[in-house]
Every structure is written in structure tokens, then in C-alpha cells.
Amino acid sequence: MKEIVFENVCKKYGKNTIIENLNFTVHSGERLILLGASGCGKSTTLRMIAGLEDITSGNLYMNGQRVNDIVSGKRNLSMVFQNYALYPHMTVTENIIYGLKIQKLPQAEIHARLTAALGKLELDGLENRKPKDLSGGQRQRVALARAVVKRSELLLLDEPLSNLDAQLRVHARKELVKIHQAYKQTFVYVTHDQVEAMTIGDRVAILDKGRLQVIDTPNNVYNRPANIFTAKFIGSPGMNIFKGSYSDHFLQLGKQSIKLSEAWSAYIGEKNCREFYFGIRPEHILLYREKHRDTFAGVVKYVEEYGSRRGIYFETEGSEVVAVTEASDFKPGSNIYFAADSDKLHIFDSKNKKNIGYPEVYHGNIYQYQSV
Amino acid sequence: MRVMKNKKNLITQNTMIAYMLILPALLVFAIFMFYPLFYTAYLSFFDWNMIKPLKVFVGLDNYKALFSDPLMPLVIKNTVVYILILLILNCAAPYILAFILSFVVKKGRGFYKGAFFLPSVISLVVGSILYLWILNPVSGPAAVAAEFMGINIPIWSKTQGLVIVVLSIITTWKIFGYNFIVIFGGVTGVPQEIIEAAKIDNIPLYKIFFDIVLPMSSATGVYIFIMTIVQGLQYVFTPIKVVTQGGPDNASSNVIYDIYQEGFLLYHTGYASAMSIAAMVLFVILLVIEFRYVEKGIYYEN
Amino acid sequence: MKIDSSLKWHVLLCIALFVSLMPIVFAISTSFKELSEAYGNVLGLIPHNPTMANYLRIFQELPLNQITLNTVIVAFAVTVFKIVTSVMAAYAFVYFNFKGKNLLYIILISTIFIPFTMTMIPNYLIISQIGLRNNIIGVILPQLSDATGIFLIRQAMRSIPLSFIEAARLEQAGIFHIMFGIVLPLAKPAVISTGIMFFINSWNEYVWPVLILKDTANYTLPLALQLFISSEGGTDFCVAMAVSVVTMIIPLGLYLIFQKYIISTFTSSGVKG
């Protein structure tokens, strides 16, 4: 299966820089997700792999071979487009086997691959329909079938689930992983949906304004975000970040201070630095109705209902904080008291905004990723 | 009850406004299009020379004469040959160029579109004269240029067959730009992603053209096919009149020019009308094709 | 490798362009040549002794001012009438529902596919009957029955999102407000380019005027142009090219100015909506 290496890859349109100095590797056979907001360059990155966009500078390698100047058709890859790009005048079968026929594969081989794909993607009985007579989910599966029958070493997917409704999307996520396990191609998958990224990806690469922010496993992206951007981007709502300073076991945040655990105190103590950004996920903030020891006061501004849980946006010392709780009796305007679980803190360098790491006792500590 | 009545009033009032809006257009169409069409049919049953006060009813005689006219086979043959050349130059060629321009070449699209369209705003009389000069077998630029390569341009105006080719070139010069632009519009209606999907599957260009672009833009294709025939026949009148007057020996005459010749030069008004009606059969067939396939939209609707 | 393959296609496109644009260049160049040079230096694009003599001659031999004025009057009248009636009719076809709407539209649009020759004889009789033969009003009238404007402007109006109209209706805007305040401004590119094409086509009209105009003083430019051609040979091509340039200069100028509108209108006219 294909291994892809980006080496200082840049993409410019005239004076606009779309992609800046991209360096990373997609391992053979893995499912890599390119995640980011719209306009971050993730689709451009995918299209450069596909050969649909020229590379302005830098090198792109596939299995060690430089492919900058190799046209799409010669790169041995397949792709699922966001709008599926099914040929509207061809039936399901014709769509799936069109490329195979052009490759002049033997009839029996084409038939075998078609039958397998139809079965695996639950398209039996739809063989002679035209795309306009299919539902969104069926079209998406036909596009996938067309991509997998090629048995290429690399499958590119450009927001393949974004046109499906929410329920279908959950089902399709599982299907995609199953398809990957069956064919074991290298997967490169573009999405703006972090739930999709976390559930499908072996690793997630997050892009922002044409730069790679992080590339890591879903677990680490959530639990050990490499920088502030990642911390805020992943999780819904994103991580709360405060600027503050450390002195002698205490974190000073404005007038308030939080006592740190021994492990953190020792870890920060070695850093020889005082100014930091502190982060805490909304789900790791503890909320109380009454004042307790070591709690701080705030006023609820806004409550966001998620069904099983709620997002409570409250104000303290002029800054907005969000916490997620299962309790349902916090109302806008009411007083609130909160405490941060100091075992679940994230600390970032105040200059380069990178994660300073974690004390040894927290290694292997997994905060469960939660999505709403 | 009152609401119902008001609603009904509103509908009739709206209908009135709509008819008023269409009326001016409808009036000129009635006088200068629909009435003449019926009157042409009417005249085709008479023997008349446009001047005599009396029209003599002759039944189907004009049509019978039409089918026994010794010139007719030649005129029809000329028309068919002319249309075939026109279809190659004005359907096939612009289709291929539009395909190249929309999916292969990335730069200069605006320039090419603007430049290709340019000749179609120029009078066909001008076009006829330009080509009369350029293709002049003795002193025209084409002849002089050909001489360098040791080729002689034949005296096409006196050569059967060749004269039709020259007429086709002149009308092509006029039609090509419009056809090219409209086909370009149809071809770019094929989503870029579809072409990319084909490129990723290593589909050769000519296959993309025949298997994907052609069927997906077929509504435009059929429209242009029809317009090429209709406009080609209409436009060719001018170069025939200016350049050849139908000669040599009717070698360049065709259905449209023959109607003019019979009607306005020989004053066989009834006979010319019968020819018009016979030619109408062709246009009605084209019309049916247009509404069957094009207005419905053949394959691709978003 | 990518550059090479696209270069090959550019060469092909440029050859096609060369073939289609070269005649115009030759016409302009020859119109400034002396007759002897036109035959001696055929391929030279820049005349050795540029001369205005050919242009002066056509002004001497023809009432060119009158002829140009005739052409302008005809083209202008045809354009204004056709644009106004086309906009009105297109508006009715898009924004009103009435009995027989689709049938009427189909009948009107069908006439686009009927060559003028089919109605030529009765039109000639009508114009003769009302005494407008050899008169530029007679040139104007039959040109008015042309459905292309209704088609193109309806196409443009249909692409205006209905929500704009609905929003205006919620504000209780009347038909004139909606037409002049919303629809026409949004359909402006199509209306302008259709108008320009009407003007150009009428300017170039030849078949009909040649049938009914007799006196040189009533001629339009394409007819005057024909006076300099002799099918028997002996045509002075330098003068013929000068008249050609005079005839094509206005359509070319209009086209170059409004090129963007025109191209985009015709590009989208092929896409059925």
C-alpha cells in the first residue's frame, strides 16, 4: 500500500498562499484524516495528492518516487468526491466498471470485482438505476464502490459524508472503516467534522490557514493537544484557555488561584518559567450551586442544551468560561461556583503556544473523548 | 365568500396584465410571421406571378411540378452536401475546440471565447467579399500563399462542388463563433468533478469526450445541430447572391436560393410558395426533434 | 510535461483563430493600399504607401452619410422595439400564470427555427400593399417578429432567485416596482447583450432590404457594399475592402465594448434551465 511523503510542499495561487511548507508522512495502510475549517487547505492538500492541483514548490513522494509531475491517471489511486461525481447518464453498474473497462481488464475479473463491491456496499438490486433515481446514501455507496473496485493502493475521500443526513452519517462512518479493513488501502480522508475525524482516523492531521498544526492519534489530539489551536479546535465546546502565572504550588489566574498537585508543581518548577497558558476542558470543570472550599464564583450567561448534558457559559472576572455538566438546574443569571480538576490541566508555553507536556504520573491517563 | 371572490378577481386581473404584456409581441408575430406562413401555404395552390390581379387555383399542380422539376435533384443534392460540410465545420469542430478549451487548456479562456465569437458580429456581405478577395484564384492572399508551396488554387467559382465548399467556408466564418460559445456553455455545464473523476481513473481524453462530455451536453449538442442547419440555410442566401448568383449552372443554388429565384426573379410565386412549404417539412422535423430532446433536457438535470 | 501537452492545444486553438481572424486583418490592410500594391504586395499587412483614396472614393460615389443614417435608424428602431416587447413578454412568461402560457411560448419560440425565406413572399406582398416598399420603415417592420429576445431574456429572468420577488411581494411592491426595481436590474447583462446583438444583426441585415429597397439613397450599408462587387470580375478590391471596413466598424466596436456581457449571455443560453 502507498506511503505518501510531503516535503516542504507549498501551494500558491498568484500571491495567495494556500499551503505553506507542508511536511508529513502518510503511513502505508493507515487511515489519515485531514481536518480543519473550510478554507484551511485540507481539500487542496488532498487534490495535490490526487494530482488535480499542481504543486508550487516542494516534493511529493509516493512509495519513495517523486510524483509532482505524474498525472492523476498514472498515480494508481482512487477518489470519492464530495458530490460523488457519478456519471449521470450511466447506470450504477456502468459507473462502477467504467474505469475497469477502459483498463481492459478481463470480463470475468470485472464481473467478480463488481459483484463483490455490490455485495459489500449493499447495492444489490440497484444495478440498473441511474444516479438520479438513488438516495443520497446509495449514491455515496456507489461512489465508494467505484473507488474500491479499482483496487488501487490509495483511496482519497473528500468530505464523502457531508451530503448525508446525521443518522446515515453515523452508519456510514462504520461502513467506511469496515471497507478499509476489507481492502486495506491507504486512506486519506478530508473532513471538517471532528467527530468523523476522531471515529474514523488512525491519525488526524489538523490544518489551519494552510499550515499543519498537529498530526497525531485521535486520542492524543484530544488528551494531549500539541498546541493551543488544537486544544480549542478539538472537543465541543473547545478547551477553556487562560493566561496565568505559576508560583509555589499555585496557579494565579487574575485574582484567583488554584492549587496544583505535587506532580504538576514539580514539573513546572523544572521549567524555569512563570508565564503560561492554562487549559481545561469544559467537561473537567466541576460546578456547584453553593460556595465550597476552593471554588470560585461566576454568573451564568447562557445555557446550551445537548440533551443528556448541558453547556453552561458563565462569566468570572470578566472572562467567559464554559463547562459541560449533566445537571439541569443552572439558569442564566444565577450564581455559580466552580472548581477545576487540577489533575486534568493542560499547560502551554506562553510564547510558542505549544504544550509543555505532562508530569510522568499522568502518562497513560486517558480522558475520555466526548462528543455532543 | 368575499375572499374567494377577491381571489378570483385577482387571478383574472393578473391574467389580463399578462396578456397585455405579451400583446405587442404577439401582434407583430401575427402580422409578419403567422399570417405569412398561412398565406404561403395558401399561395402554393395558385398559379400567380405577383402582379396579375387574378390568381388561378391549380390545386396540387405546383407540388407536382416541384417533384418533376429537372433541377430539383441537383438543388437537393447541393443542399445536402452543403449541410453536411456545415455540420462538420460548425458542430464537430467547435465541439472539440470547446472541449479542449474547457477541460484541457487552463489559460486564456476569456480571450479565446471573445476572439472566436468576433467574426459572427460582422455582416455576411462583408464576409462574402472578404472571401471573394482572399480566395481569388489569381491575386488573392490564399492563392499567393499557396503559390509559395507550389499549389494552385482552382477557379472554384467555375467548378462544380468546389463552389459549395467555398460557400460553406463563408457561412462557417459567420456561424462558428456563436456555435462555439453556446457549445462551450453546454460543455462547461459538465461538473469539473466528473472530469476529475475520469482523469483519476486514467480515462483517455477522447474517451472522456465521447463517453462523458458528449452525452452529458447532448441537449446543447442537439440544439446546435439544429441551429446549424437552420441558420446555415438561412445565411447561405447572402454569399450565393453576392458571390455566385447560384452559378455555375445552378451548381451552388440550393433550396433557399431557389425559392428566391423562382419567387422574385422568375415571378413563379405559387411555385416558390410550394417550395417553401415543402422545405418547411424539414424545419418541422427539426422542430420536433428540438422539443422532444432539448426542451426536455436529455440526460443531465441538476 | 504538463506544459508541453497544453502548448500543443494552444497551437491548435491559435491556428483556428488565425483562420477565422485573418480575413478581417487583410480587409483592413488592403483598404489602405493602392490598387497596384494590392495586387503586387498581396501578403504584406502594412501598406508601403498607405492611402485614404479608397475611402474618399466611396464618399464621392455614394451618399454615404445618408446610407449610414438609414442603417442607424433601422437598427435602432428594430432594437428598441424588440427589446421592449421581448422584456414585456418574457416577464409575463416568467412571473405570470395564465391559460395557454406554455403553448403560446412554444409557438413563439418555434419561429426561431423557421428561416425568413419561408415567409418572404407574403411579407413582400404586405409591405407592398401598405406602400412601404423602397422605404426604410418597410425594412424595419418584418424584422420585429423575432423570438430570440423573448428566449434569452426569459432565460435570464428565470435564473433570478424567486425569493427576491417574494421578498418584494411581502413588502407589497407592485408589478412596476418589481419589474423596474428588481427584475430588470438583475437581468441587465442579458438585456444589454440581447439589445447589442439585435442592433448588430439588424445593422447587418441583407436579405430583406435587398428585396424591397430600390433607390441608393434608401440603402443600408450592406446593400451599398454590394454595389462595389461585380460578379463578372473587375472588382476594385481596395475600394470593396474600404466599404467592408466602414460596414463592420460599428458592429465590431459595439462587440468589443460589450464583449463580456454578450459572451456570458450566449454561454449560459445553451444551458437549459
pLDDT digit string, tens, across residues B121-170: 999 999 999 998 888 888 788 888 888 888 888 888 778 888 899 999 99
**Percent of chain B whose pLDDT exceeds 90:** 47
Indicate left, alpha or beta for A358 from its phi (over 0: left) and psi (-120 to 50: alpha): beta
- Say how far apart CA A317 and CA B135 lie, in whole Å: 89
> What is the average per-residue pLDDT within B260-265?
89
Q: Is B279 exposed, middle or buried (0-12, 13-18, 19+ CB in 10 A)?
A: buried
Instruction: Find the helix or strand (DSSP H, E) in which B57 lies.
Output: strand B56-57
Counting one residue from chain B and one from chain C, the pairs whose CB atoms sit within 8 A come to 296
Task: Answer whether residue A42 shows pLDDT above 70.
Answer: yes
Contact (CB, 8 A) for A359 and A266: yes
Confidence grade of residue C49 (pLDDT, cut at 50, 70, 90) = confident
Q: Is A133 near chain C, with CB under 8 Å?
A: no
**Chain A residues within an 8 Å CB radius of C1:** 69, 71
State how far residue B48 is from chain C, nearest Cα, in angstroms. Answer: 12
CA dist A249 and A242 (Å) reads 17
Q: What is the CATH number of the domain that holds A291?
A: 2.40.50.140
Closest among C216, C211, C43, C206 to B128, alpha carbons compared:
C206
| Residues of chain C neighbouring A71 (CB-CB closer than 8 A) | 1-2
Q: Do B204 and A72 touch (CB under 8 A)?
A: no
Residue C4: predicted pLDDT: 57
Distance from CA of B1 to the nearest CA of C (A): 23
* Angstroms from C154 CA to nearest CA on chain A: 27
Residue B1 predicted with pLDDT over 50: no
* Cα C124–Cα B258–Cα B251 angle in degrees, nearest 5: 150
Mean pLDDT along residues C39-66? 85
Largest Cα–Cα distance of chain B, in whole Å? 90
**Min distance A40 CA to chain C CA atoms (Å):** 27
Contact residues on chain B for A49, CB-CB shorter than 8 A: none
Residues A166, A64: one domain?
yes
Q: Minimal Cα–Cα distance from C3 to chain A, Å?
A: 10
First to last CA, chain B: 42
- Considering the domain architecture, whether residues A248 and A352 belong to the same structural domain is answered as yes
Q: How confident is the model at residue C236 (pLDDT cuts 50, 70, 90)?
A: confident
Long-range contacts of C222-227 (CB under 8 A, 24+ apart): C222/B123, C222/B124, C222/B125, C222/B126, C222/C247, C223/B125, C224/C62, C224/C64, C224/C67, C225/B123, C225/B125, C225/B126, C225/B129, C226/B125, C226/B242, C227/C62
| A54 plus A178 within the same structural domain | yes
Q: Which residues form the domain of A64? A: 4-228
Closest C-alpha to A155, from A167, A139, A164, A143: A143
What number is the average pLDDT over the span B166-177? 93
Counting DSSP H helices and E strands in chain A, the numbers are 9, 20
Question: What is residue A354's DSSP assignment?
Answer: B
Residues A203 and A251 in one domain: no
A253 in any annotated domain: yes
- Which residue of C42, C95, C137, C169 to mutate against B (max B Cβ within 10 Å)? C42
* Residue A298 to residue A292: CA distance in whole angstroms: 13
Q: Is A167 inside any structural domain?
A: yes
- Report pLDDT for C272: 45
Q: Select from A195, A228, A261 the last residue of a domain.
A: A228
Alpha-carbon distance values, A89 to A246, B214, B215 (Å): 67, 11, 7
Would the CB atoms of C115 and B256 count as touching at under 8 Å?
yes
A341 and A252 in a common domain = yes
pLDDT at C82: 97
B116 and B6 in one domain?
no
> pLDDT tens digits for B55-89?
889 988 999 998 888 888 888 888 899 999 999 99
Minimum CA–CA partner of A72 in chain C:
C2
Residue A369's pLDDT band (boundaries 50, 70, 90)? very low
Tally of structural domains, chain B: 2
What pLDDT was estimated at residue B301?
Answer: 37
Residue A265 and residue A351 in one domain: yes
Q: Is A317 on the interface with C (CB under 8 A)?
A: no
Do A83 and B193 make contact, defined as CB atoms within 8 angstroms?
A: yes
Checking if the pLDDT of A368 tops 70, the result is no
pLDDT digits (tens, 9 = 90+) for A324-338: 998 888 889 999 999
Task: Give the tens place of pLDDT for each residue, C177-223.
Answer: 888 988 999 999 999 999 999 999 999 999 999 999 999 899 999 99
Among chain B residues, CA nearest to C241: B130
CA distance A343 to B98: 65
Please tell me whether residues B16 and B134 are part of one structural domain: no
Contacts of C115 in chain B (CB under 8 A): 230, 233-234, 256, 279, 283
Residue B297 touches chain A, beta carbons under 8 Å: no
Which helix (H) or strand (E) covers residue C89, if one does? Answer: helix C64-95
B300 contacts chain A (CB < 8 A): yes
Taking the CA of residue C191 and the nearest CA in chain B, the distance in Å comes to: 16
Separation of alpha carbons B219 and B208, rounded Å: 17
* pLDDT (0 to 100) of residue C232: 59
- Give the residue, A361 or A123, on which the prediction is more confident: A123
Contacts with C26 from chain B: Cβ below 8 Å: 130, 133-134, 141
Q: Are residues A265 and A129 part of one domain?
A: no
* Best mutation target, B19, B106, B129, to test chain C (most C CBs within 10 A): B129
Q: Which three cell numbers stand for residue A279?
A: 487549559
Question: Pairing relation of β-strands A296-305 and A310-316?
Answer: antiparallel
> Are residue B125 and residue B27 in the same domain, yes or no?
no
Q: How many Cα atoms within 13 Å fall on the side-chain side of residue A82?
A: 11
Say if B54 falls within a structural domain: no
Chain-wide mean pLDDT for chain A? 90
Is the CB of A166 inside 8 Å of chain C's CB atoms?
no
The answer to whether the Cα torsion of B137, B141, B146, B150 is positive or negative is positive
**Number of domains, chain A:** 2
Q: How far is B161 from chain C (nearest CA, A)?
A: 19
Q: Name which of A16, A9, A21, A8 is nearest A55 in CA terms.
A: A9
CA-based nearest distance B249→chain C, Å: 14
Q: Do A102 and B203 touch (CB under 8 A)?
A: yes
Q: Give the rounded percent of residues in chain B with a pLDDT score beyond 70.
A: 94
Do B139 and B7 lie in a common domain?
no
User: Which residues of chain C have a CB within 8 Å of the CB of B183?
Assistant: 270
Verify that A55 and A91 share a domain, yes or no.
Answer: yes
- Alpha-carbon distance values, B188 to B5, C268, C270 (Å): 49, 10, 10
What are the pLDDT digits (tens) for B193-218? Answer: 999 999 999 999 999 999 999 999 98
Residues A199 and A235 in one domain: no
Question: Is residue A371 in a domain?
Answer: no
Residue/partner pairs of A118-123 with CB below 8 Å, 24 or more apart: A118/A145, A120/A145, A120/A148, A120/A179, A120/A182, A121/A145, A121/A175, A121/A179, A123/A92
Domain harbouring B103, CATH code: 1.10.3720.10
Partner B contacted by A144 (CB < 8 A): no
B22·C92 Cβ contact <8 A: yes
Interface test with A, best of B103, B194, B199, B201 (most A CBs within 10 A): B201
Boundary residue ending a domain (A228, A248, A272) = A228
Q: pLDDT of A218-251, one tens digit each?
A: 989 998 999 999 999 998 899 999 888 888 888 8
User: Do both B86 and B150 map to the same domain?
Assistant: yes
CA distance A116 to chain B (A): 19
Q: Are residues A152 and A191 in the same domain?
A: yes
B250 and B191 in a single domain? The answer is yes
The DSSP 8-state label assigned to residue B291 in this structure reads I
Residues C266 and C192: their CA atoms lie apart, in Å, by 12
My answer on whether A241 and A134 are in the same domain is: no
Same domain, B16 and B138: no
Q: Which structural domain range is residue B8 located in?
A: 2-33
pLDDT at A370: 45
Task: Please tell me if residue A71 touches chain C, with a CB cutoff of 8 Å.
Answer: yes
| pLDDT value, residue B2 | 52
Which pLDDT score is estimated for A64?
A: 92
- Please report, as a single letter, which amino acid is at residue C24: I
pLDDT score at A371: 43
Query: Is B70 found in the same domain as B9?
Result: no
Inform me whether the C-beta atom of residue A54 falls under 8 Å from chain C C-beta atoms: yes
Using the 3D structure, point to which of A213, A228, A243 is the last residue of a domain: A228
**Which chains form contacts with chain C, at 3 or more CB pairs under 8 Å?**
A, B
Q: Which domains does chain C have, with CATH numbers?
A: 23-269 (1.10.3720.10)
**Distance, CA of C213 to CA of C136 (rounded, Å):** 8
Residue B51, in any domain of the structure = no
Do A105 and A52 belong together in one domain? yes
Contact call for B105 and C110, based on CB within 8 A: no
The fraction of chain C above a pLDDT of 70, given in percent, is 95
My answer on whether B154 and B10 are in the same domain is no
CB B252 within 8 A of CB B261: no
Q: Is residue B302 part of a domain?
A: no
| Same domain flag for B27 and B123 | no
Q: Percent of chain A scored above 90 by pLDDT?
A: 63
Query: Cis peptide before A225, with omega less than 30 degrees from 0?
Result: no
In a domain, A161, yes or no: yes
Chain B CB within 8 Å of residue A73 CB: yes
C contacts of B189 (beta carbons < 8 Å): 270-271
Asked if B13 and B82 sit in the same domain, the reply is no
The verdict on residue B55 lying in a domain is no
pLDDT for B302? 32
Amino acid symbol at C54: N
Best of C25, C229, C246, C266 to disrupt the B interface (most B CBs within 10 Å) is: C266
How many C-beta atoms lie closer than 10 Å to residue A363's C-beta? 9
Dump the DSSP string for A252-308: EETTEEEEPPHHHHHHHHTT---EEEEEE-GGGEEEESS--TT-EEEEEEEEEE-SS
From chain A residues 194-253, the ones with a CB under 8 A of any chain B CB are none
Assess whether the previous peptide bond of A237 is cis (omega < 30° from 0): yes
ipTM: 0.90
- With contact defined as 3+ CB pairs under 8 Å, the chains touching B are A, C
- Is B142 or B276 the better-scoring residue by pLDDT? B276
What average pLDDT score do residues A147-171 get? Answer: 91
Q: Tell me the CATH number at A191.
A: 3.40.50.300
Inter-residue contact B263 to C120 (CB < 8 Å):
yes
B122 and C24: CB-CB below 8 Å?
yes
Instruction: Give the mean pLDDT of C23-40.
Output: 87
Cell 405546383 found at: B62
CA gap A364, C162 in Å, rounded: 58
The partner residue sitting opposite B194, judged by closest CB among A50, A87, A99, is: A87
Whether pLDDT at B298 is above 50: no
Kindly determine whether residue C115 and residue B245, on different chains, have CB atoms separated by under 8 Å.
Answer: no
Residues B128, B18 share a domain? no
* Sign of the CA dihedral running C223, B260, B51, C137: negative
Read off the C-alpha cell for A350.
Answer: 506562553
What residue of C is the nearest CA neighbor of A52?
C2
Return mean pLDDT, chain C. Answer: 88
Closest Cβ opposite residue B234 in set C116, C203, C221: C116
Task: Report how many Cβ contacts below 8 Å link chain A to chain C.
Answer: 5
Yes or no: say if A279 and A241 are a contact pair by the CB < 8 Å rule. yes
Residue A369 lies in a domain: no
